Amino acid sequence: MSPSHQWYGIIPGWFPFYVLILVALVLFGLRVNYLVRLMLTGKPAARWDDVPARLRMVLVFVLGQFRLIRGDFWPGLMHATIFWGFCTLTLGTLEFFGRGVTEAFALPFLSDTPAFLILEDAFTVAVVVALGYMTFRRLVTRPKRLTLSPEGLLILGLIFGLMVTDLLADGARIALAPAAADRWAFAGSAVASALGGLPGGALQGVFHASWWIHAVILLGFLVWLPYSKHTHVMSAPFNVFFAPLGPKGRFSTPDLENAESFGVGQVTEFTWKDLFDLYNCTECGRCTSRCPANMSGKQLDPKMLILNLQEHLLESGPRLLAPAAAGEGHGEGAPMVGAVIADRVLWACTACRWCVDACPVFIEHVPKIVDMRRWLVLTESRFPAELGPTFRNLENNGSPFQVAWQTRADWAADLGVRVMSEVSEAEYLYWVGCYGCFDERNRKVARAFVRLLQAAGVDFAILGNEEKCTGEPARRLGHEYLFQTLAQGNVETLKRYKFQKIVTACPHCFNTLRHEYPEFDGHFQVIHHSELLDELIAAGRLRISRERSERITYHDACNLGRYNDIYEAPRRVLGSVARTELAEMALSRSRGFCCGGGGGRAWMEENEGRRVNQLRVEQAMEVRPDILASACPFCLTMFEDGVKAKDVGDRIKTRDIAELLAEALTPQASGRPA
């Protein structure tokens, strides 16, 4: 609100205004207190570590609105404009109300300054434009991911009302009591010119009406927010502050020996941060629009998953907070999983994590899904029938395959590969992984990688029959007990030998060894084979012939890309063998589309909707590649099936980057034949 003279004489009485503020603050406080108490029925979660880093998160992702603008530019920019405008106009509103009590009120370094007056009016106009854009999207273009609701339109209307009443009050005030600084308030001055023909009494009427309507809307807005579905307007900054700071690929490790329950079957078995997430859904639908399960016709809808849990929590609130519930397990009713969240919704998730990365307020969808899967598997023994053999194989054979563990090193029998039990020490321990050991197609990748290591003179060895599955599929599928058993056994094995780094061609093994084994005292340096190959090429240890003329497109594996931000190393490896640049798919790098094999889905049937791997192959076909390259055995297997199903095997070859590099070795650099 621009400066003025004689404000006290023209502003309505202060007593009704004070009463209005008091009532609004009491109603607001009561509701916030209720929501906080309800949130704290969840289990403990440590989210106060590294406060400076958390404040930086708020600076970048709340004040800077980085995720919104990066994820969907124009809608994100419009939302950011409203947010920035709201922040700026909040300062103006403080002045607006303050001068309604005393004309001496002033904001230090802001009131009456040209910069602030220009900024305030600029944002007022920009917010009105942004509101028009967002209303048009909801009523006309109507993107599928958005939820069209009267409440959403109401909040746009309330913000519009705040902008209009601010301009009208400012314009009427300028017309009544102009000041020298008013020339900087260009929008208010324009309104004052439009109102200039009105008599003084009418101008005072416009001012009084606008002032009170603005006050009622603002305070009503404050009261309504915590009672509405738009609680996130006030809570989202805190949710960003409490976002996880650890590795993206690390899931929680429950204490199974001392746990009273396994997984999450009731809403209060979530942590308080999980419950706080439920207050923060903006209903923007960015998570759902990125979900490969949803895009392929599965029942999983990440947005509705959160909203259904939110509704369940709020409906359960009176029961959970009732005095009698304190000593009776919160008076829990029917199981949440199955009744509120259907089993097949949980099993559809590929754990690709795109929903989490897309969420502007950092809601953690995938960890909640894994926690509910844990309840299904460990508490209910309720899971798809095809997972029974997978779990038994992991327990008996140390791999998801029905192959004896004693044959784990057979793939390398003729390659002269050293085994750790014989040499005890090596620079690199090559972690082959279950696919590389037992799957015929991926054995070719393992052999190609060995050929490259030998050609570069790398000192390496394998565990051979001592290697067991990292347990990654078990953890993602909810069998936490099996995962912890495998992890502890592998850590004990690894600690018996000396090596500088572990290298693996499997992003799933890479992520688990690197980020989850430290929870079991397994502190190792772990790199992906794309990183090592990139280093060897850069150091000149591999002599490569850049003769390939085929058109190559590269698929970013979720566990390598979104989980670990490794995007460029595999591209540089491919660039060393190809004459032409890579043909990038529309969905690549951080926006890469899942192959469909993550989250344990590689071991499950896909009976609902379309197959995710076929959708990804179709996306690859759009750039007309000769070769669909990947750096993950899960992805390679899914693409082998997808290419066959689409009947394009004669046109598109599927290859791991190690295979393409091994094929490009010059004769002088070739090692033992694969």
Return the pLDDT at 513.
98
Question: What per-residue confidence (pLDDT) applies to 260?
Answer: 80
CB distance 281 to 94 below 8 Å: no
- Please state the rounded mean pLDDT for residues 407-413: 96
Parallel, antiparallel or unpaired: strands 460-462 and 498-504: unpaired
Query: One fold for both 7-237 and 267-379?
Result: no
Residues with Cβ within 8 Å of 381's Cβ and at least 6 positions away in sequence, in order, are none
pLDDT digits (tens, 9 = 90+) for 87-139: 888 787 777 667 666 666 777 777 778 888 899 899 999 999 999 999 999 89
| Both structure tokens of 372 | 């509910």
Q: What mean pLDDT do residues 306-327 have? A: 86
CATH no. for 7-237: 1.20.950
Measure the CA–CA gap between 487 and 492, rounded to whole angstroms.
Answer: 9
Q: CA dist 574 to 74, 289, 618, Å?
A: 34, 30, 21
**Structure confidence at residue 91 (pLDDT):** 80
Burial class for 472, CB neighbours closer than 10 Å (0-12, 13-18, 19+): buried
Q: What is the DSSP code (8-state) at residue 518?
A: G
Q: Does the pLDDT at position 329 exceed 70?
A: no
| Residue 334 confidence (pLDDT) | 67
Distance CA 615, CA 89 (A): 46
Which has the closest alpha carbon to 615: 653, 575, 643, 649? Answer: 643
**CATH assignment of 267-379?**
1.10.1060
Is the pLDDT higher at 566 or at 85? Answer: 566
Nearest-angstrom CA–CA distance, 86 and 360 = 18
131 CA to centre of own chain: 26
Q: Is the pLDDT of residue 273 over 80?
A: yes
| Residues 292, 594: Cα–Cα separation, whole Å | 6
pLDDT digits (tens, 9 = 90+) for 156-185: 999 999 999 999 988 998 998 888 888 899
* Kind and range of the H or E run holding 535: helix 529-538
- Tell the burial category of 328 from Cβ atoms under 10 Å away from its Cβ (0-12, 13-18, 19+): exposed
pLDDT value for 100: 60
- Sheet with 498-504, strands from edge to edge, namely 460-462, 425-431, 498-504, 526-528
Q: What is the pLDDT of residues 606-636, one digit of tens each?
A: 999 999 999 999 999 999 999 999 999 999 9
Whole-angstrom distance, CA of residue 233 vs CA of residue 221: 11
What's the pLDDT score for residue 421? 96
Q: Which two tokens stand for residue 246?
A: 């650890």
Which phi and psi angles does 353 have, rounded to 5°? Answer: 75, 10
List all residues 6 or more positions away from 7 whose beta carbon is below 8 Å from its beta carbon: 99, 100, 102, 103, 173, 177
Phi and psi dihedrals of 628, rounded to 5?
-105, 105
Task: Spell out the SS3 assignment of 227-278.
Answer: HCCCCHHHHHHHHHHCCCCCCCCCCCCCCCCCCCCCCCCCHHHCEHHHHHHH
Q: How far apart are CA 351 and CA 2, in angstroms?
A: 52
Q: Tell me if 96 sits within 8 A of 21, measured CB to CB.
A: no
- For the chain, give every domain's residue range: 7-237, 267-379, 391-669
Per-residue pLDDT, 673: 39
Average of per-residue pLDDT values in the chain = 92
Bridge pairing between strands 460-462 and 425-431: parallel
pLDDT of 6 over the 60 cut? no
Helix (H) or strand (E) holding 369: helix 365-374
DSSP state of 61: I
Contacts of 650 (CB under 8 A, 6+ apart): none
Give burial (CB, 10 Å; 0-12/13-18/19+) of 253.
Answer: middle
State residue 555's pLDDT score.
Answer: 98
Cβ–Cβ < 8 Å for 474, 489: no
**b/e code 137-172 from CB counts within 10 Å (16+ = b):** bbeeeeeebbbeeeebeebbebbbbbbbbbbbbbbb
pTM (predicted TM-score): 0.92
